[in-house]
Amino acid sequence: MSKTRRKTYLIKKGLQLRYMGIIVTSMLTVAACVGWIFYKTSWGTIADTPDLSLANLGAIYDQVNQTLLQWIILIGVAIAILSLFVSHKIAGPVYRIEETAKRIAKGDLSQTVHLRHGDELGDLQDAFNAMTVALRNTIKKDREVIERLLNATKTLKEELKSGTKNEETLKKHIEELDMITEEMRYVTRDFKLEDEDMIDLMAETGEGNTTETQTALEEEKSQ
């Protein structure tokens, strides 16, 4: 039985309502301006014209169209300039986050996103920087554990090279290596990879067992 998924259209209410307000206000402003210009140019001219013959009405019609065209061009230019400034509040942050993500993908985890005051996507900036800090801390912890593992391995090699046969000492070094290995697993245990998701899915659907069976049969045939 399929579940009915309810769609939530207002996910970021503040951001969405703000831009909805800008769009609706712009449309109403344009409509009001065009209506006022049409009324002023047509009825104003008609009221000032005593002789409303067909020739005069044709001239008034041409004048109204010409005036409306001029105002529509001016309003269009004004809206284009306004939309440029408004869209920059989103395009600018998106560009900065994109460039920072590219640097981080190349291995520079010192990068953080700094948006200007008044820019949109401030919540995304905070979440992105928090992700970078978490990755940075994980890498630092991973390096510390690797350094300890190298030191423990080096010590064990020196003990073996010197001919030490003290079982207690060797057991202590082995336990230390086991502890460091478990710590390395702990550092990255919360990371989830796509390949692991596929393996889990195959295990759930039984595809993994089928693959293992096919591999075993192929090995038997080759023998």
Q: Going residue by residue through the chain (223 aa), what tens digit of pLDDT does each one get?
A: 445 565 777 777 788 888 888 889 888 988 888 888 877 777 766 666 666 666 666 777 777 778 888 888 888 898 888 888 888 888 888 999 999 999 999 989 888 998 888 788 888 899 999 999 988 988 888 888 888 888 888 887 777 777 766 777 777 777 888 888 777 777 777 777 666 554 554 455 544 444 554 454 455 445 5
Locate 107 and state its tokens.
């291995």
45 CB contacts (<8 Å, ≥6 apart)?
A: 60, 63, 64
Give first-to-last CA distance, the chain, whole Å.
48
Question: DSSP string of the chain?
Answer: -PPPPPP-S-SSHHHHHHHHHHHHHHHHHHHHHHHHHHHHHHHHHHHH-S---HHHHHHHHHHHHHHHHHHHHHHHHHHHHHHHHHHHHHHHHHHHHHHHHHHHHTT-TT----PPTT-S-HHHHHHHHHHHHHHHHHHHHHHHHHHHHHHHHHHHHHHHHTT---HHHHHHHHHHHHHHHHHHHHHTTT---HHHHHHHHHHHHTHHHHHHHHHHHHHHHH-
pTM for the model: 0.60
Nearest Cα residue to 112 out of 91, 133, 138, 88? 133
Q: Note the pLDDT of residue 129.
A: 92
**Nearest in space to 46 (alpha carbons), one of 28, 31, 64:** 64
Dihedral-angle region of residue 49 (phi above 0 means left; psi in -120 to 50 means alpha; beta otherwise):
beta
d(CA 173, CA 5): 56
Dihedral angle of Cα 39, 45, 49, 53, to the nearest 10 degrees: -70
